A and B are shown apart, each in its own frame.
Chain A
Amino acid sequence: MKKFAFFGIMAVFLSGLIFVSGAQAGNTASIDVAAAAPGSAKTPVSGKNLPVYLDEDLASKHADFTKFAHSKLRTLNRNHRLSRSRMQITQLADGSFRARFHSIDDASLVCKVRRSKSKTIPFVGIVSYKEKVFEAVASSKEGCRKAQFIPVAVIPNRHIFSYKKGTWQ
């Protein structure tokens, strides 16, 4: 009788364990969290290899480069061979005209600055921007110029500049 009671208690206890572990497994369904690779403890952090987000000096160079980049984009827009003022108008097979021009979207500008090992070029700057191509079709060349242009393509661009003797070039 004692043996029976002992085995009965053990059976209840063990089955309880199984239920508990099953329930816990359900609660801890794992998700692989996207995480950046950990830094190497062998490489001590110094002013030269600071992660970008901690680099205050780079931040001031970034602000400086951003000003330069805005001005540069205005230069690119002004001098583009197919800018709005120099739009290309071609006659189509059906006799109508198609006008096309390119415009750099200043609002799309994103800047990035990196240190370099070079003594003469201590920084490089990369500006990303979107160049939009607009088109309009009309029955005459003059009609084209006045027509409503719609974007027909977007060209992503990255432009690399170097910092030499205190100026971006």
Chain B
Amino acid sequence: MKHSKKLMLLALVAALTLSFAFAATASAKTVKKIDNFVLFLDQSGSMAMTHGDFGKTKIDMAKETMANLNKAIPSLDYTSSMFLFAPFEGEAQPAKYSKSAMAGAVAGVPDDFDIFNRRTPLGNGLMDLDPVLAGLSGETALIIFTDGASNIGADPIAQARALYAKYGDRLCIHVVSYADTPHGQMIIDEIRALSSCTVVADYASLSAPGGMDKFTKEIFYEEVADAPAPVAVPVAKETITFSLHFGFDKYQITDEMIPVLEQAKMILEESPSAEFVVAGHTDSTGPEKYNQGLSERRADSVKKWLVSNGVSASQLEAKGYGELAPKYDNATKEGRKLNRRVEIQTK
């Protein structure tokens, strides 16, 4: 009798566990974030060289990353393809995504090519790839695997910018970095800096526990509950921050502030139809009323400089927040220094 009670209890626990498991799988759904993806691999001579930090050739590292990426991508109805550059070759033409086909394409990339006389025309590669992108409908992730080194031919940064100009929000370029030179890393960062959609990754971050899953999830899919309706993490308006290092009680723009203001102006020019708030902030040192007035005068100075240098006055509103909107902790010296800032936010 005692034995049968134990059995019944065990059966009950098993049934409950199973029902919870089914409930869990039923309540989450994997939904694709993009329609197409293109893997674009650098097969230039520098990729056949050993990476300074990892002791493997960069092409082997890239193939390893791509194989792991292929395993992590959910089997949803993407259109996938894989191309190589330096020289440009099509390894897998755009087709319905198949894990096994992509695994075969990655495995088929040669890794014993020559190093010499094989520089990296990434810019030309992006031009060669454009007709492929033109043939895809919907949103596309272009994932470049490169060390960014030894570039020749067309300017790769300008070409990437030209692709964004042509496709707008329909395209996002992500670069997986195998850079082991400052120059290679700079080119990669310059391409990344062209759009805030980009997801940053390198060999180390994708090899770390959970790194590949995070990368894949950010680019390829999201898990949403069946009910209520899926809610994506909202992306807020961008904040541009800088410190102009005004002197005590000063609010006039000096020559030393101009390089920073020129960069701020260039950022605003990326969105010619947007409206912005130029916000002045102080730390909590000194009387509140004084800080309020000072922040207003400083915000106004920045607005005047921007307007006198070509930004439309109708795009800008100057506001002083004094010490009332600290972003950092006023209890520390570091925090107070960070709070003395100018922010420009899109309205």
Decide if A34 touches B245 in the complex (CB within 8 Å): no
Decide if A36 touches B193 in the complex (CB within 8 Å): no
Decide if A79 touches B159 in the complex (CB within 8 Å): no
* Residues A160 and B155 in contact in the complex (CB < 8 Å), given A63-B185, A111-B189, A155-B236: no
* Residues A33 and B131 in contact in the complex (CB < 8 Å), given A79-B328, A154-B236, A158-B238: yes
Decide if B166 touches A160 in the complex (CB within 8 Å): no
Q: Is A84 an interface residue (CB 8 A)?
A: no
Decide if A124 touches B263 in the complex (CB within 8 Å): yes
Give the CA-CA distance A59 to B242 in the complex, in Å: 23
Residue of B nearest to A76 (CB): B338
Give the CA-CA distance A89 to B321 in the complex, in Å: 24
Decide if A35 touches B242 in the complex (CB within 8 Å): no
Q: Which residues of B contact A66 (CB under 8 A)?
A: 185, 189
A73-112: CB near B (< 8 Å → 1, else 0) gives 0011011110000100000000000000000000111111
Decide if B240 touches A158 in the complex (CB within 8 Å): yes
Give the CA-CA distance A161 to B199 in the complex, in Å: 23
Decide if A126 touches B233 in the complex (CB within 8 Å): no
Q: Is B226 an interface residue (CB 8 A)?
A: no
Q: Is B256 an interface residue (CB 8 A)?
A: yes
Decide if B161 touches A154 in the complex (CB within 8 Å): no
* Residues A36 and B159 in contact in the complex (CB < 8 Å), given A80-B328, A120-B255: yes
Q: Is B29 an interface residue (CB 8 A)?
A: no
Give chain A interface residues in 139-168, CB to chain B under 8 Å: 151-162, 164
Shortest CB-to-CB span from A120 to chain B, Å, is 6
Give the CA-CA distance A99 to B182 in the complex, in Å: 41
The residue from B198, B234, B255 contacting A154, defined by CB atoms under 8 A apart:
B234
Q: Which residues of B contact A155 (CB under 8 A)?
A: 235-239
Shortest CB-to-CB span from A105 to chain B, Å, is 9
**Interface of B, helix, strand, loop or mixed by DSSP:** helix
Q: Is B196 an interface residue (CB 8 A)?
A: yes
Q: Is B21 an interface residue (CB 8 A)?
A: no
* Residues A156 and B158 in contact in the complex (CB < 8 Å), given A108-B200, A124-B260: no
Give the CA-CA distance A28 to B122 in the complex, in Å: 25
Shortest CB-to-CB span from B227 to chain A, Å, is 17
Give chain A interface residues in 13-42, CB to chain B under 8 Å: 31-37
Give the CA-CA distance A97 to B237 in the complex, in Å: 27
Decide if A157 touches B239 in the complex (CB within 8 Å): yes
Q: Which residues of A contact B234 (CB under 8 A)?
A: 152-154
Give the CA-CA distance A37 to B165 in the complex, in Å: 12
Q: Which residues of A contact B264 (CB under 8 A)?
A: 160
A109-126: CB near B (< 8 Å → 1, else 0) gives 111111011101100101
Residue of B nearest to A132 (CB): B233
Q: Which of B4-12, B62-70, B329-337 contacts A (4 or more CB under 8 A)?
A: B329-337
Decide if B238 touches A81 in the complex (CB within 8 Å): no
Q: Is A138 an interface residue (CB 8 A)?
A: no
The residue from A31, A59, A81, A120 contacting B256, defined by CB atoms under 8 A apart:
A120
* Residues A63 and B182 in contact in the complex (CB < 8 Å), given A107-B205, A156-B239, A169-B245: yes
* Residues A156 and B236 in contact in the complex (CB < 8 Å), given A35-B127, A52-B190, A79-B334: yes
Give the CA-CA distance A66 to B202 in the complex, in Å: 15
Residue of B nearest to A164 (CB): B256
**A residues apposed to B, CB below 8 Å:** 31-37, 51-53, 56, 58-60, 62-63, 66, 75-76, 78-81, 86, 107-114, 116-118, 120-121, 124, 126, 128, 130, 151-162, 164, 169
**B residues apposed to A, CB below 8 Å:** 123, 126-127, 130-131, 134, 151, 154-159, 161-163, 165-167, 181-183, 185-187, 189-190, 192-193, 196, 198-201, 205, 233-243, 245, 255-256, 258-260, 262-264, 267, 326-329, 332, 334-335, 338
| Given contact pairs A35-B159, A62-B182, A158-B267, a sample of 12 additional A-B residue pairs in the complex whose CB atoms are under 8 Å apart | A31-B131, A31-B134, A33-B131, A34-B126, A58-B186, A78-B334, A81-B328, A109-B200, A112-B193, A128-B196, A154-B233, A162-B259
